[in-house]
Amino acid sequence: MKMDDISKILKARKIVVDKALNEILPKQVAAPKKLHKAMRYSVFSGGKRIRPILAIESCFCCGGKIRDVLRAACAIELVHTFSLIHDDLPSMDDDDYRRGKWTCHKKFDEATAILAGDGLLSLAFETLTTGGDSGIKVKLIRELTASTGSMGMIGGQCVDIEYDGRKKLPSILNYINLRKTGALIKAALKIGAIAAGADSKKIKTMGEFGKSIGGAFQIIDDILDNGDSVRGFGKEGAYKKARFLTEKAKDSLSIFSGKAGNLRAIADYLVERKI
Amino acid sequence: MKMDDISKILKARKIVVDKALNEILPKQVAAPKKLHKAMRYSVFSGGKRIRPILAIESCFCCGGKIRDVLRAACAIELVHTFSLIHDDLPSMDDDDYRRGKWTCHKKFDEATAILAGDGLLSLAFETLTTGGDSGIKVKLIRELTASTGSMGMIGGQCVDIEYDGRKKLPSILNYINLRKTGALIKAALKIGAIAAGADSKKIKTMGEFGKSIGGAFQIIDDILDNGDSVRGFGKEGAYKKARFLTEKAKDSLSIFSGKAGNLRAIADYLVERKI
């Protein structure tokens, strides 16, 4: 697939996700207004919606429809936004800007930013309690909570903060990357398959694909902002590693044959991206 | 029921809840150790386990067993602990001590405290995904997320912070109390009934009881630390209001007749407590 074609698909999916997020989030006029304004500000601050799009494509690949996966896809983006707000806080990465806009605690204040993150995390799981089959909903919530929690993304952030400014051994760097970025990307792929009602083999395969592209995604992020992977492997070495992981990811999709075309194209897109 | 008898029941239930919380929380040696140490430190910092005990008694009153409700009861306590950790943060209430011990951010550091709260919130919902009937699990998660979120407890905290140090109109004070403390107590009662598989009338009744004792609970809290209710109504007026709400609460349990003895006794206990 050409890069132009996949860009068009990503844009179309983003519109669908943004519309659903707008419906899921409490209105800006709903009390407490300041809190809902902050939650909305951060969710609509220019995210590319990669994680929800991966969930949607995974669901399609497993034979599901958009209505099976859309709320779960949005829940993943809410968790992602929660993590960005809290990671940016003064006691963590202390960032003033994200995607060229004020971070939540700069635009509002620190207490509001902490609570906006908390509110988004709670809303993510609430979103997963409506629509569809109860058995599937429980599985989706289990997957998303486990990948978010202290053994997943939140745990990765904790270790990242602990090693801030210190040289990280490859094992530590791997631990952080697998959790801080990898866990939610892997979960997105599995969630798409679970939402489609796929069997455990397909769910597992999507998890493997997600783990590999999650690793590649983090390396490319590091290349773009001169992060840990570049310091560890050099820029060329890092690119080589990201491309290797992308090929590995695409190979893991063989059981889906032609149906996985979009997922393979997104894997290529993510490793070639410049932002 | 005599106060001594209900004290004994509360102590016995607390032992059961503490044991279950110990099993649910990741071990202190599990990576990341610092995060799990912080999560455990705050959960085992001397809480009376009022909320989980209310959930358990509500479940019993509706004909359920301890195995039906214990995990959900623990999930409520995890959400409660999350809220205490985040409320104590420097950008919120800025408290150094709670129940005579260092608050989480003083014992560890601010980043760890934020992440420990996040981890507990995620774990609470994860805990609700195992054991029992899927339909009931989804209802439990919906009840707990809704009462926790931006329209519930988190929203109440946001408005409380916004009005910090300012005189609060009765309507604002009511808004805050109903959400910041009331929402989770009400949810505990409803969750007990849901876990027991009770019908919607019983669940609603438990919610009404919970709303009234939640109001009384907040007033007594204010009396004990000279908070807003005392400033608003005077100490005697506040006591009178708390006792009125407690009687109203007990009256609402009439459909359960003798089965609600423990809940009525706990309502009295909460309004007479000195800590």
pLDDT single digits (tens) A251-262:
999 999 999 999
Query: Would the CB atoms of A122 and B117 count as touching at under 8 Å?
Result: no
Query: Would the CB atoms of B110 and A91 count as touching at under 8 Å?
Result: yes
Residues of chain A contacting residue B175, judged by C-beta atoms under 8 Å apart: 31
What is the mean pLDDT of the segment spanning B157-173? 91
Distance CA A125, CA B144 (A): 10
Residue A100 has pLDDT above 80, yes or no: yes
- Mean pLDDT score of chain B, rounded to an integer? 96
Query: Would the CB atoms of A111 and B130 count as touching at under 8 Å?
Result: no
The distance of B142 to chain A (nearest Cα, Å) reads 6
Query: Would the CB atoms of A145 and B137 count as touching at under 8 Å?
Result: no
Residue B17 has pLDDT above 80, yes or no: yes
Query: Would the CB atoms of B115 and A26 count as touching at under 8 Å?
Result: no
* Number of CB pairs, chain A paired with chain B, less than 8 A apart: 155
Query: Would the CB atoms of A138 and B129 count as touching at under 8 Å?
Result: yes
Query: Would the CB atoms of B145 and A123 count as touching at under 8 Å?
Result: yes
- Of A109, A110, A118, nearest to B121 by CB-CB distance is A118
- Of A32, A82, A141, nearest to B125 by CB-CB distance is A141
The distance of A178 to chain B (nearest Cα, Å) reads 13
Residues of chain B contacting residue A91, judged by C-beta atoms under 8 Å apart: 109-111, 114
For A26-64, write each residue's pLDDT tens digit: 999 999 999 999 999 999 999 999 999 999 999 999 999
The distance of A131 to chain B (nearest Cα, Å) reads 11
The pLDDT value given to residue A189: 98
The pLDDT value given to residue B53: 98
Query: Would the CB atoms of B154 and A35 count as touching at under 8 Å?
Result: yes
Residues of chain A contacting residue B31, judged by C-beta atoms under 8 Å apart: 155, 159, 175
ipTM value of the model? 0.97
- Mean pLDDT score of chain A, rounded to an integer? 96
What is the mean pLDDT of the segment spanning A92-102? 96
Query: Would the CB atoms of A150 and B86 count as touching at under 8 Å?
Result: no
What is the SS3 assignment for chain B? Answer: CCHHHHHHHHHHHHHHHHHHHHHHCCCCCCCCHHHHHHHHHHHCCCCCCHHHHHHHHHHHHCCCCHHHHHHHHHHHHHHHHHHHHHHCCCCCCCCCEECCEECHHHHCCHHHHHHHHHHHHHHHHHHCCCCCCHHHHHHHHHHHHHHHCCCCHHHHHHHHHHCCCCCCCHHHHHHHHHHHCHHHHHHHHHHHHHHCCCCHHHHHHHHHHHHHHHHHHHHHHHHHCCCHHHHHHCHHHHHHHHHHHHHHHHHHCHHHHHHHHHHHHHHHHHHHCCC
Distance CA A187, CA A211 (A): 9
Query: Would the CB atoms of B34 and A158 count as touching at under 8 Å?
Result: yes
For B182-197, write each residue's pLDDT tens digit: 999 999 999 999 999 9
What is the mean pLDDT of the segment spanning A74-79? 98
The distance of A146 to chain B (nearest Cα, Å) reads 7
- Of B31, B32, B151, nearest to A26 by CB-CB distance is B151
The pLDDT value given to residue A239: 94
All structural domains of chain B, each given as residue ranges with its CATH number in brackets, are: 3-272 (1.10.600.10)
Residue B92 has pLDDT above 90, yes or no: yes
The pLDDT value given to residue B257: 92
Query: Would the CB atoms of B31 and A159 count as touching at under 8 Å?
Result: yes
Q: What percent of chain A has pLDDT over 70?
A: 100
For A228-245, write each residue's pLDDT tens digit: 888 878 899 999 999 999
Query: Would the CB atoms of B92 and A111 count as touching at under 8 Å?
Result: yes
Residues of chain A contacting residue B117, judged by C-beta atoms under 8 Å apart: 118
The distance of A61 to chain B (nearest Cα, Å) reads 26
The pLDDT value given to residue B126: 98
- Of B118, B141, B142, nearest to A154 by CB-CB distance is B118
- Of B36, B91, B138, nearest to A134 by CB-CB distance is B138
Query: Would the CB atoms of B134 and A137 count as touching at under 8 Å?
Result: yes
Closest residue, chain B, to A37 (C-alpha): B150
- Of A32, A130, A135, nearest to B134 by CB-CB distance is A135
- Of A32, A118, A125, nearest to B159 by CB-CB distance is A32
The distance of A88 to chain B (nearest Cα, Å) reads 11
Distance CA B221, CA B274 (A): 9
Q: What percent of chain A has pLDDT over 90?
A: 89
φ, ψ for residue A43 (rounded to 5)? -70, -35
- Of A123, A135, A138, nearest to B150 by CB-CB distance is A123
The pLDDT value given to residue A231: 82
What is the mean pLDDT of the segment spanning B122-129? 98
Query: Would the CB atoms of B119 and A31 count as touching at under 8 Å?
Result: no
The pLDDT value given to residue B233: 82
Query: Would the CB atoms of A146 and B126 count as touching at under 8 Å?
Result: yes
Closest residue, chain B, to A109 (C-alpha): B91
The pLDDT value given to residue A63: 98
The distance of A148 to chain B (nearest Cα, Å) reads 7
Query: Would the CB atoms of A162 and B126 count as touching at under 8 Å?
Result: no
pLDDT tier at B232, thresholds 50, 70, 90? confident
pLDDT tier at A168, thresholds 50, 70, 90? confident
pLDDT tier at B229, thresholds 50, 70, 90? confident
The pLDDT value given to residue B81: 98
